[in-house]
């Protein structure tokens, strides 16, 4: 498929699901396969840049006091604290990107996805089309195994994520598409098909 020949509306392609279902891996693959078409929303964080990271490209690196100020001002669609550092998606980052892009890719947690849907209610942003996908783990035990295999969370954190996932799964019906996670390749192909059939071929 020739990406540059596509004549598209403006879309926000939202991928959500409990932590550990593989959202980031899928988004990275989509960005690699469609580098001239997809643009991802850049997340804000209070952690310091790692070697080679560029402010505004990899993350919006904010000082803690600025992050807190913007959080109190309601600038974030969603935010969370991970390992003592704060992360969040700024409304402005989403809306600015939609003004200049054809397809905006957003990897976001379930609470943030619900906020995005609220943001798109009414006529203010009716010129954008939202296509949302929810990834369900095969079982909560399988999700726990994935979280354990990442090696980035304590057992206490993993238990909290599983408890959160139990609640999040009840929101699945609010999304346009729901896929049950199988393996990384199958999950990726399923979401790529949704992208192609509902955005690229429109």
pLDDT by residue (tens digit) across 24-50?
899 999 999 999 889 999 989 998 888
104, 94 Cβ separation under 8 angstroms: yes
pLDDT digits (tens), the chain, 202 positions:
444 434 447 899 999 999 889 898 999 999 999 998 899 999 899 988 888 888 988 889 999 999 999 999 999 988 888 767 898 999 888 888 888 888 999 988 888 888 887 776 554 555 678 899 999 998 898 888 888 887 777 888 888 888 888 889 999 998 999 999 999 999 999 999 999 999 987 6
d(CA 38, CA 10): 11
**From edge to edge, which strands make up the β-sheet containing 85-90?**
60-61, 44-45, 85-90, 76-82
The reply to whether 143 falls in a domain is yes
The reply to whether 4 falls in a domain is no
Q: What is the pTM of this model?
A: 0.81
The reply to whether 2 falls in a domain is no
Helix then strand then coil, in percent of the chain rounded to 5, is 45, 20, 35
The reply to whether 1 falls in a domain is no
Q: Domain span at residue 136?
A: 10-200
The reply to whether 74 falls in a domain is yes
Of 27, 1, 29, the C-alpha closest to 13 is 27
Counted domains in the chain: 1
26, 188 Cβ separation under 8 angstroms: yes
Q: What is the CATH number of the domain that holds 23?
A: 3.40.50.300
d(CA 158, CA 144): 7
């Amino acid at each position: 498929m020739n990406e540059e020949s596509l004549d598209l509306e403006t879309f926000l392609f939202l991928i959500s699901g409990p932590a550990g279902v593989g959202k980031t891996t899928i988004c990275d693959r989509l960005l690699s396969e469609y580098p001239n078409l997809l643009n991802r929303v850049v997340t804000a964080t209070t952690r310091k840049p790692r070697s080679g990271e560029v402010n505004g490209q990899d993350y919006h690196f904010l000082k803690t006091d600025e992050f807190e100020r913007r959080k109190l001002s309601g600038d974030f669609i969603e935010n969370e604290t991970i390992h003592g550092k704060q992360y969040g998606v700024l409304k402005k980052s989403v809306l600015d990107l939609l003004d200049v892009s054809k397809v905006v890719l957003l990897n976001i947690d379930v609470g943030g996805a619900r906020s995005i849907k609220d943001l798109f209610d009414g006529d203010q942003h009716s010129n954008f089309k939202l296509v949302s996908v929810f990834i369900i783990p095969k079982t909560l035990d399988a999700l726990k195994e994935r979280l354990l295999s990442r090696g980035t969370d304590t057992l206490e954190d993993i238990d909290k994520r599983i408890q959160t996932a139990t609640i999040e799964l009840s929101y699945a019906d609010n999304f346009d598409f729901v896929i049950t996670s199988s393996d990384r390749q199958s999950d990726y192909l399923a979401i790529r098909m949704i992208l192609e059939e509902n955005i690229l071929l429109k």
